Structure 1
Amino acid sequence: MFPPSTTAHLLASNSAPDGIESNVARSYIAGLEYQRAALENTIALQMHHHAHLVRFIQDHKLILAPIRRLPTELLAEIFKVAAREASAWGCLPGRLPPRTLIRVCRRWADVALGTPSLWSRAYLNLDDMGVREEAVTMTQLLHQRSGNTPLTIRIYQFKAPRQSLPIVPNVALAVLNVALAHCDRWQHVEFRSSETSPLLY
């Protein structure tokens, strides 16, 4: 409720307020402005509380998400499908499915690390500088985590040296040396390059 106004009678006329009425009106307006500011502050606090409450509710709904109840075996199968469907050609190593999955949560990391077949594919685009820099490390990691599963290794480079990004010397040869140490597990190995850009330069 608004406080009573002693100048409200002037609202129904075009009469000019006298000096006292002007001062009273200014004081009354100042009081109302103070109330408005206080009300806006209260509304802002309530809106902030509302937004926090909504986020809190949404976060706790995740506790009931069906994926949390999936058996480990089924979750592993989903991961395998994701790995097969991912277009790894030209993809930065850090974005390949297995290395992405282990960053989600501890359970997903445990499942991914406990599923050797997720780590049995190495697709390396050596035209990509980001891939070249991590190629050897990633190949070693995949061999370590893939257990005894058959390996699929694909390496390609089509851009000529003068066209491609800065070159890491002998990276293809280094990757091949790592792969050769596990050649007894090779299921599919593919090396592709152009005549002007041999892999083993």
Structure 2
Amino acid sequence: MFADLADAKSARAAARTRITELDVEIESLQRLLEARLHEREECREELGSYKYPILTLPPEITSEIFIHFVPAYSERSPLVGPDSPAHLARICRAWRTVALSTPTLWSAIELRLNDADSFEHRLQLLKTWLTRSGGFSLSIALLCYDIEISAAAFVEAIVFHASRWQEIELKLPYEDLRHVTGIMPLLRTLSVHVGPNLELDAKAPVAAPAVIFTQAPNLKEVVLSGYFNPFCITLLWSQITKLTARLYETEAITILRDAAALEECCLTLFCQLRSPISPIPPLPRLRSLVLSASSTWRTAGPIHLPALTLPALESIQVFEPFLGADPVATLSTIRPHGYPRRIVISVAQFSSDTTTPYQVYTAAFPEATVHIELED
């Protein structure tokens, strides 16, 4: 019994000694911790006082650097993704302030709609970008790749700013394209890819045009593709100087009759069996002409286009069957005085028709650069 009491007394004494030792150790650790905390605070203060060189630049210089991050206007930045200027606004508070106060970062937009996912989020992003662009002119591409998706809300969002459009590219179902309206005083370049018209035949006349671009006095360049129908879209062709389009030949001729200001023209034509067509009035300013054939026309055999009078023509690239039975004679009459300085004759890759030999062209046009190439 006495032995047990002695052991207990010894254990208590050992515990008291250990507590004393631990108190000393804890006090030492606390002093070390306080020293480390103080050192950490000093490091934080030092970091806080450090000025990163990029952050010492005046805001206008930083803004200029940001402008070089995005493609040169009027090339467009994607609304989302690593190349979007929105990334600049996520680096730090200072950069965000500069980015949001630089309207040109947000004035060229490309939005691709592939499916209905995140539509509401992307619509809000689009509206935010348009607001951030301030009063600057706009370059916009709205590209819808699914005809079953309605892009009407996106069209309405950009149409609200139509007065600031400078370059616009639209790839839309016909039903959504009809929402494009407004006065467009700055618009100079228009690209339209028309989706299928689900309400009427793509080539049938309608009572009134559904899309009108007649309030765009500075519009000069036009690109047309898809299910374009001149009866459904109205343009002031008399002011257009550059045209790229995929058309039926009667549509092309209808346009060319009114396009006296054309300087450059690139047409891909579809075969269409129609009655003979009267000549086109002279196009006095046209310097460059490209006439290629769709795959449907390449198998249709020679078809002579209406007579063309192009007194200023410098370069022509043409699918040889368009020139009729005597291509050299046709080329000789296109330009009343002299002939183009550059002539490219395209032939069908698997055509069984005999093409005019290269030597015949070079002999007829000795001062011209002549090439013969296969139609893609």
Q: Which TM bucket (shorter chain)?
A: 0.5 to 0.7
In structure 2, give the amino acid aligned to 1:109: T
Q: Tell me the TM-score normalised to structure 1 length.
A: 0.60
> CA distance change for structure 1 residues 96 and 161 in 2, over 3 Å: closer, same or farther?
farther
State whether residues 89 and 100 of structure 2, in contact with CA within 8 Å, keep that contact through their aligned partners in structure 1. Answer: no
Q: Residues 96-150 of structure 1: CA distance to partner in whole angstroms, max 9, x if unpaired? A: 3498279723x8736862x4433321223345421123423532442x242xxx5
Give the TM-score normalised by the residue count of structure 2. 0.36
| Matched positions, count | 163
Is 1:172 the counterpart of 2:154? The answer is yes
SS in 2 for 1:84: coil
1:120 aligns with one of 102, 107, 129: 107
Aligned: 1:135 with 2:103 = no
Number of the residue aligned with 2:38:
49
**Residues 76/135 of structure 1: CA separation in 2 closer, same or farther (3 Å cut):** closer
Distance 1:155 1:99, change over 3 A: farther
- 1:98/1:118 contact within 8 Å kept: no
What is the distance in 2 between the residues matched to 1:44 and 1:96?
A: 45
Greater per-residue helix proportion: 1
Where 1:42 maps in the other structure, the secondary structure is helix
> Aligned residue for 1:156?
143
Unaligned runs of 5+ in 2: 1-5, 179-376
Q: Give CA deviations for 1:22-41 in whole Å, capped at 9, x if unaligned.
A: 44333211100111222223
- 1:4 matched to which residue of 2? none
Question: Which structure has the bigger radius of gyration?
Answer: 2
Aligned to 2:17: 28
Which residue does the alignment assign to 1:191? 170
- Unaligned runs of at least 5 residues, structure 1: 1-17
- SS of match in other structure, 1:44: helix
Whether 1:104 and 2:93 are equivalent positions in the alignment is: yes
Deviation digits for residues 4-57 of structure 1, max 9, x if unmatched?
xxxxxxxxxxxxxx6465443332111001112222233333322222222221
Corresponding residue SS for 1:173: helix
Distance 2:59 2:19 in 1: 66
Could you say which residue in structure 2 is the equivalent of 1:76?
Answer: 63
**Residue 111 of structure 2 contacts residue 142 of structure 2 at CA under 8 Å; is this kept in 1?**
yes
Deviation at 1:90, TM superposition (A): 4.7
CA–CA distance in 2 between the matches of 1:90 and 1:198? 24
Alpha-carbon distance, 1:60 to partner: 0.9
Segment of structure 1 superposing worse, 26-35 or 42-51 = 42-51
Aligned equivalent of 1:181: 163
Aligned residues: percent identity? 15
Q: For the residues of structure 2 that align with 1:60 and 1:190, how far apart are their CA atoms?
A: 48
Q: Is the 8 A contact 2:108 2:138 kept in 1?
A: yes
Shift of 1:80: 0.5
> Hey, what's the Cα distance between the residues in 1 that align with 2:104 and 2:79?
21
Q: Which amino acid aligns with 2:124?
A: E
Conserved in 2, the CA contact under 8 Å of 1:102 and 1:112? no
